[in-house]
């Protein structure tokens, strides 16, 4: 079973049926950090999802770069396949990223990056998954699912993010070599959508923060419309704003292949 990572909204929307207020009161004393993470993992996603997005990169000097991307994902039963492709500007157009996220907890996510300028596909190995993705403040690891059992969870309490009542959960990786072995995530008490997160480095210093907004239902699914991840150590940030979001629409199987990346068939 795959747990929702804090960037699940980057490659798929977050959704679940809302719990009633009386149920919240009943469960308030019983839910553990693990229970909350598991409920977030079980958020319905739709058989397919698609969106376009504007990605804005800002460095500590205030210099801005803007990119356009498209994303497609499809559930193949035991594997969730997702593909992301840059469409603008020209210097990144055609750069594409493919992920296979397996239900089998013993199988790590497979991922490939295609760079058209080099006409080469590079497989992203375990040792590279902590690297920054295409110069952004996201890492390759952020974009993957995370196995529930590879973390321990502590419920730190309840805290509002804006006006949204949230559970505050500490997630500690059993693998201390991860770039961010400790994270704190604020999950909505109603929908279990992630509203905020903090990521700590190996020295347990705050490295990055995530803020989610424009959270609403699209086609019956809760959808995160805007994400801002900021690196507090470097002063840079990356903003992702999703538009044209849709679910459960037909998507061809053949775009989720390395060959499709190389031929520029991701549309």
pLDDT digits (tens, 9 = 90+) for 129-178: 888 999 999 998 888 767 788 899 999 999 999 999 999 999 999 988 88
Residue 180 in tokens: 């961010």
Segment 179-216, tens digit of pLDDT: 899 999 999 999 999 999 999 999 999 999 999 999 99
pLDDT: is 18 or 239 the higher one?
239
Is the pLDDT assigned to residue 241 strictly greater than 50?
yes
Smallest CA-to-CA distance from 185 within 174, 175, 199 is with 199
Strands (E), 36-130: 48-58, 64-75, 79-88, 96-102, 110-115, 120-123
pLDDT at 263: 84
Smallest CA-to-CA distance from 208 within 171, 179, 174 is with 179
The 3-class SS string of 143-163 reads HCCEEHHHEEEEEEEEEEECC
How many CA atoms lie within 13 Å of 59's alpha carbon, on the beta-carbon side? 5
Backbone angles phi, psi at 256, to 5 degrees: -95, 50
Q: What element of type H or E holds 3?
A: strand 2-3
Is the pLDDT assigned to residue 20 strictly greater than 50?
no
Segment 174-189, tens digit of pLDDT: 988 888 999 999 999 9
Least confident of 26-40, 78-92, 233-247: 26-40
pLDDT at 258: 92
| Section 32-59 average pLDDT | 93
Report percent pLDDT > 90 for the chain: 70
Which 3 state secondary structure label does DSSP give 53? strand
**Neighbour-count burial of 99, counting CB atoms closer than 10 A to its CB (0-12 exposed, 13-18 middle, 19+ buried):** buried
């Amino acid at each position: 079973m795959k747990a929702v990572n804090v960037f699940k909204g980057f490659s798929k929307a977050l959704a679940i049926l809302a719990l009633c207020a009386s149920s919240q009161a009943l469960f308030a004393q019983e839910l553990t950090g693990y229970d909350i993470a598991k409920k977030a993992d079980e958020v319905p996603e739709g058989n397919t999802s698609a969106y376009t997005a504007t990605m804005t990169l800002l460095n500590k000097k205030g210099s801005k770069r803007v990119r356009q991307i498209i994303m497609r994902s499809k559930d193949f039963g035991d594997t969730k396949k997702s593909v992301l492709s840059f469409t603008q500007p020209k210097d990144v157009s055609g750069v594409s990223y493919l992920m296979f996220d397996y239900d089998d907890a013993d199988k790590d996510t497979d991922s490939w990056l295609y760079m058209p300028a080099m006409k080469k596909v590079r497989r992203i190995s375990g040792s590279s998954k902590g690297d920054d993705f295409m110069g952004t403040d996201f890492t390759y690891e952020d974009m993957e699912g995370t196995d529930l059992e590879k973390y321990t969870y502590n419920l730190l309490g309840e805290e509002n993010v804006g006006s949204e009542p949230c559970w505050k959960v500490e997630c500690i990786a059993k693998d201390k070599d991860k770039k961010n072995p400790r994270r704190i995530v604020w999950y909505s008490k109603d929908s279990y959508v992630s509203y905020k997160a903090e990521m700590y480095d190996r020295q347990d210093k705050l490295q990055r923060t995530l803020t989610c907004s424009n959270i609403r239902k699209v086609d019956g699914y809760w959808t995160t419309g805007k994400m801002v991840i900021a690196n507090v150590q470097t002063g840079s940030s990356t903003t992702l704003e999703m538009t044209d979001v849709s679910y459960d629409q037909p998507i061809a199987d053949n775009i989720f292949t390395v060959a499709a990346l190389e031929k520029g068939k991701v549309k």
